[in-house]
Amino acid sequence: MTDYVVYHKAEKMGYPALDIDNLAIYTKKPTDGKNGSRIWLIAGEGSPRKYYLRATFLIGNVEPSDKPEFISRVTGTDGQLLDPMPQLNSEAWCSEFVEEQGRFAFGFNKIKNHEAKEGLRKVLLSNTLR
């Protein structure tokens, strides 16, 4: 399975990440053939930037976007919205992950950093198994 990251910037989207209430993301990038891959939705807030894990899910469907600034709406199954959102900045792998992702300027992007993928899984497990 391939892991992808998507970044939610409240200032750009016009609403905070906690207002996201379903397993879906919007992207300008092609997503054909990615069904079954995992999406990690990262939210950034404040200055200096604080990064949070808002959601993760498996891609179940890709459809045309209902928002003109995006190409696709990607919806998912087998996932989790996290509230409260765990902060990622203190994780040992976070700064390298943020740099690998171009400070999330690349949009929908493959996660290549194995340590970051494992770290995200650990954060997910520690915040869902209570």
Q: In total, how many domains does the chain have?
A: 1
pTM (2 decimals)?
0.93
Q: List pLDDT tens digits, range 53-88.
A: 999 999 999 999 999 999 999 999 899 999 999 999
Q: Report how far Cα 50 is from the mean position of its chain's Cα atoms.
A: 14
Find the CATH number of the domain harbouring 122: 3.10.590
Query: What percentage of the chain carries pLDDT values higher than 70?
Result: 98
Q: Report how far residue 28's alpha carbon sits from residue 128's, in angstroms, rounded to the nearest whole number.
A: 30
Give the integer Cα–Cα distance in Å for 44 and 54. Answer: 10
Provide mean pLDDT across the span 42-48: 93
Domain that holds residue 67: 3-128
